[in-house]
Amino acid sequence: MASFSAMLTPARCSRLLSKQLPSSRRLASTQSLRETLKEVIPRKQEQLKKLKLEHSQAVVGEVKVEHILGGMRGLKAMLWEASVLDPNEGIRFHGLSIPDCQKVLPSAPGGKEMTAESMLWLLMTGQVPTVEQSRELSRELAEKGDLPAFVEELLDSLPANLHPMTQLGIGVAALNRDSKFQAAYEKGMKKSEYWTYTLEDCIDLVAKLPALAARIYRNVYKPGTDLAPIDKNLDLVGNYSNLLGFGNNQTLTEYLRLYIALHGDHEGGNASAHTSHLVGSTLSDPYLSYSAALYALAGPLHGLANQEVLRWQLAMQEEIGTNVSHDDIKAYLWRTLKGGQVVPGYGHGVLRKPDPRFIALQEFCQSIPELKQSSIIQLVNKTFEVAPDVLKEHGKTKNPYPNVDATSGCVLYHYGLTEFKYYTVIFGVSRALGAVTQLVWARALGLPIERPKSYSMDALEGLIKN
């Protein structure tokens, strides 16, 4: 049966990208997300059945000692339907590159950037939603966006000096009181129904993340200020920006739309996505699964990277000024490296070329005159022009090119969202799109509990000898 990628053939993508797809065909589809999934899921179930039946013994890689000792990096051992990350091409969402998505996914009214809802639809179904489908999903998310009173009280009771990511995980986990999946499982339901109740929880979780994240921002950084009500006519990120108090800044709102869509999924091997899938494989509900993912995202080697980049760039700016030459930056880079530190924002576990997400965010900055003139954005650009050659000469970095974190926090800082510790919360709102997609598909495909085999060093040495 046809896969998601096959449904988005090069010919179809070409028609979409050149806008030759008749508007009548785009507008004709009024199916909801649930109705669309009911059509798509049987095809994927049949594809999985065929793979098991005909190709279960096919070899797709080999396990080496370096995989076991190196955190399983690069080991081909996980099914993830929403996206595939290529070392040279970067991320593709059901076959669509980031530039493809920017051209074909619907934007918010009055905006240009793709919305989180349209990205969620693509990740879930493998199909490009119509404007009407995307807007209808926006309305549903807005209608479900208010927090239960007990969660508001819980968040308000937390100490303001508790890390925002800790608070976000607590809030997400607490939402499981109203889990439809958990309630249905306790009553007894068929395995074929797992995905439907999981989907309801996932939609509810995504809908409530802006209110959760904004309440944490208010409590920690703006105590005593009022939170705006959720506007049923706004998209998810439009409401999030409004709740944060930046709704009157259209440029920042558009940047947040792009940022959240780009960060929505990055295949399944990264720590937060993998954690969500692992916990979900035990049939924990989506709230518990994603709260665990958030605590993986909070680690300095994962989601905290963008704040570390900004700190480093600001320290560079303070030391060498704003009117700097390439030689000034080169000298600063070498001082960083010779001091035993890494250059934050450069290198990636998989990518071996500049991160397409970095390129997309840079292009956004270059399209806005005030950002183009920003001293911190200019410093990011100049660093990009110098850093790869320095890192190649240094010789200890497999990928000397920038990842998305090299620029993602700088626009937030420019527009006054300067609270570094909060940046990972925005990442957490973003990454939910891919995580919830996998939770739905894991239930729809009946994927088993994840349980790899482990070895001690003595046992591993014994295997090597034999």
User: How far is residue 187 from each of residues 190, 287, 318, measured CA to CA in Å?
Assistant: 10, 19, 61
Is 405 a residue of the active site? yes
Q: For 109-112, which contacts have Cβ atoms below 8 Å and span 24 or more sequence positions?
A: 109/135, 110/250, 111/250, 111/253, 111/254, 111/257, 112/254
Partners of 86 in the beta sheet? 90
Place of tokens 């890390």: 163
- Helix, strand, or coil here: 403? coil
Identify any residues that bridge with 346 across adjacent strands, giving them in sequence order: 402
Q: Round to whole Å and give the CA distance between 342 and 340.
A: 7
CB atoms < 10 A from the CB of 12, how many?
Answer: 14
| H/E segment holding residue 223 | none
Among residues 100, 266, 405, 414, the one annotated as catalytic is 405
| Residue ranges in 56-163 assigned as alpha helix (H) | 65-69, 98-104, 116-125, 131-143, 149-157
Looking at 285, 348, 355, 414, which residue is catalytic? Answer: 348
Question: Which run of H or of E encompasses 60?
Answer: none
Active-site residue, 302 included: yes
Residue 188 tokens, joined: 């007894």
Q: How far apart are CA 430 and CA 265, in angstroms?
A: 8
Whole-number Å distance between alpha carbons of 81 and 93: 9
Only one residue has tokens 């119509």, namely 130
Helix (H) or strand (E) holding 6: helix 4-7
Q: From the candidates 302, 328, 394, 458, which is the catalytic residue? A: 302
3-class DSSP string for 141-183: HHHCCCCCHHHHHHHHHCCCCCCHHHHHHHHHHHHHHHCHHHH
Tokens 């993830």 label which residue? 80
β-pair partners for 83:
93
Active site residues per annotation: 302, 348, 405
